[in-house]
Amino acid sequence: MATEVCIYCGSSRNIQQDHLRAKSKNGVTTVPACAKCNQSKGAKGLMEWFRWLKDNNSYRWNKIYLHNAFKRNLIAIKVRKIYNE
């Protein structure tokens, strides 16, 4: 059985299910996320959260950027877009 990892930062600790679009905004798609990413994201949209992290939490932002730097999925593409802004 494969260990689930946080789709955002790659951590395998305290994995929860995060709504890509906040549940409060009718989001239904869930992805595995560590508790720290899930709590940090809260009800923010994905791009809004990435921008907030870049400005306010450089440790978590760098962890997310490095985890996604060479991937080609939708989240990685959005991370690189924010990184290049």
* Ranges of each domain in the chain: 15-83
Three-class SS state of 11 = coil
Q: What pLDDT score was predicted for residue 11?
A: 96
pTM: 0.90
Q: What is the pLDDT of residues 32-73, one digit of tens each?
A: 999 999 999 999 999 999 999 999 999 999 999 999 999 999
Q: What pLDDT score was predicted for residue 2?
A: 65
Three-class SS state of 28 = coil
**Inter-residue contact 33 to 41 (CB < 8 Å):** yes
Average pLDDT score over the chain: 93
Please give the distance of CA 60 from its chain centroid, rounded to a whole number: 9
- pLDDT of 1 over the 60 cut: no
Q: What pLDDT score was predicted for residue 80?
A: 96
